[in-house]
Structure 1
Amino acid sequence: MSEEELLTAAGADGNMAWLMMATALVLFMTPGVAFFYGGLVKAKSVVSMMMMSFGAMGLIAVLYVLYGFNMYSEISGPTAFAGNPFADFGLNSLAVEDADGTGMVNVAFAATFAIITVALISGAIADRARFWPWMLFAGIWATLVYFPVAAWVWVDGWIINLGSMMFPDSGVEVIDWAGGTAVHINAGAAALALALVLGRRVGFQKGIQKPHNVPLVMLGAAILWFGWFGFNAGVVAAPLGVPEGNAGTGLLVLNTLVCPAAAIVGWIIVEKLKDGKSTSVGAASGAVAGLVAITPACANITPLAAIILGLIAGVACALAIELKWKLGYDDSLDVVGVHLVGGLIGCLYLGFAAIDTGLFTGGGPEQLIVQLISVVAVLVYSFVVALVLGFAIEKTIGFRVKNEDEIAGIDVTVHGEEGYALAVR
């Protein structure tokens, strides 16, 4: 084997190793969501909250292998809704034909994105949702919304082709490196819809409850940040659906560090000015807001621009979580304020700051226009489908627990377990 062949083989092995590691990192993020959300709810609802994330891990992984990856990978052009789900049902053909295993690992990596997107939605309905109706919603919403939207954004759908269709000579395309639209706006819009369907918690008012376990919240945020390096930088190793970027893995990693760091600063400054104290939960929430904002932009902005983005996201999301008290929708754990708003900021920021194509970085308005169209379309589509689906479930089998169960805490009534079973000896 020649030196060139050896280097090529070593590169392929390294690529496979990193993709496997990134898959594990992104999968670990969903237990991170469970810890983060679990610490924020009351002590008698922590099991229910965490089970929604673990339920999503079980259900969505299975559905993705059965037909979700086909809907993602087999899409053919901007007029298609999704690929044929039965093209390779259960991926039997891929298992036989995938000699080096790259395709199968790519399926696993892509599945982890679907899992965490669904899990994120659950925070909006904390303390008042029944488990099996949630699982029904999760499976249908993933099928009708996440699987096709991911294909639109990353493979060969209308969003990835929007720039060339609208501005064929500009070289501009929609930028969404790792899921500002497909993950965060998608989940945030669905979360808003479910919050409206299930209605307000009993006693809904500002200060309705404090996080029951702050260290659990901090642990969840730490796991999310740790896994996010696989989320953003793992994409470079995926053989299918890799977006266009302006730099290598180094920029992805650095921006994934510095943007959430700046968002922490922005969030805790707002807390200090508004409430007189900066909190650890605020710092954790700021980190997540910055991670959400950098997700679509990490490959296409400079580190300085990432710092500015982080500050903007931290400040904006810290203010946005107050909207639920003014507008009256009960988004229990601020999925809308952090993921929907953070995703919108990260996607639209590219219209101004994307390297070479942003309005302030040498480009014209084209980048901003295609970014705006893509985020509005995904937001509206996800919201409408989630609203219809949520209402259908609520009116048929019932989605929300009884008020008395909500007040008492739903762990025992829904799961027969307690998060903290303390015995007096």
Structure 2
Amino acid sequence: MFRFETILDSGQPSQSIAMPLLSQLFLLFLVIIPQVLADAATDASRLGSFYTALDLYRGSATNILVVGIGTPPQDVNLTVSTNVDFIMVAADSCNGCTNGAAEFLTDDSSSLTATQQALSYTTTYPAGSLDTLHLTANFASEILTDARQDVNNERTITLISSVQDNFGAATGSSDIALPSGTSGFWGLGVYQVNKGYSIIPSVLAVTGEGAPSSATNYTVGFDIANYSSVDGSQAGTIHWGGAPTGSYEGNFNWINPNTTVAGSWGIPVNTIRVGHAVVDTSTLYGSLDPGFDAIYLPTTFAETLFAAVPGASRDLNLPCDANISMEITISGYQYNVANAQLIQPRDQAGQTCWGAVVAWQNGSVTETLGEIRLGTPFMSDIYSVLFYSPSEQLVGIAGKPNSVNALNVNSAGGPGHANKALARICEFLVTLQRLPLISPRQ
């Protein structure tokens, strides 16, 4: 979001011969692997004790969460995005704001508390020549019904009255509809002007029963599924309140985000490599966004990367049998992107394919800001969390079981946390070196 405003029996001869060899092998092992940095205690303090699983689904344009708003609950599809600061829903007064999705009928809810406090809000989004959406809305409070069972406390939402693209452009803006099949946004950003207006700070401050919370921090985890073109298929799971054991591999790499961009969750992206082409992206910023099924880059960067793929014509036309080796370095740690996630069929026959790396519009706001939006192709091969406390925000990235990042140990230098499994291997080798070896009985 941008604002304008991790007992042995031994023989001496056998031992004297084998020990130097074992020592050399052990030292060689240490040379060829990165340093193992583990801090499970830190992770435990940040990953929560309880969580609720929220199912994420493929919408026709974005990944959505189905939420009941009001009393009785009116089910709406909301795009889940870290780049949006609020829960936003199109009200029935918003003419033409939705396309194949329900609007929230304000008069049909007995629990709505409307206000006259207006909101003029612009968020980055792949729409129009500027890659932005401008939403006019009013703040309100309402009951939200979903798997979290947070039904006894009203939460702040915004009621959208208009949606525009190209807001502020010389050519003028135009009224448009929200992404097809959606009624608004389940925003996971943090509105720094008044954090209580955003859902994560809100649930930390006040429990679902409406009482002040004794918790000092809150965690939201993302287990994103591989890409699917089938509308309504499961796109992954949001772990609301904590990260369950088994969903991640190794320790987390914790990043202090840039709170002025990407919904207050901006992360440093050092480089992106495709094949032998390495692009320095240190002047840009990244955002982990579970709502989108692509990786978005400024045009010149995207074109440089696609030039390294034989037969590719940017993201528009890609050989379906292409073998793309892609690696993204974030805050000094290297993460792979699976080839299967980078190639998406354009037709049922599978004869032509899209590239999952997409360029922002030339001259758009996102290109000027330098945003790298990391959606499904990247997030499906890692496990990530947002950690929030009133005094600290962190983004955590760990390896994911059965993925190309199952062993999250590759560090490009600097502090961090690596993989427990590898740490156990090193510990075993150290222990083995210290023990006398078993020699054959004479």
Shorter-chain TM band: under 0.3
Whose RCO is larger (CA < 8 A, sep 6+)? 1
Provide TM-score, normalisation by structure 1: 0.27
Provide TM-score, normalisation by structure 2: 0.27
Q: Which structure carries more strand by proportion?
A: 2
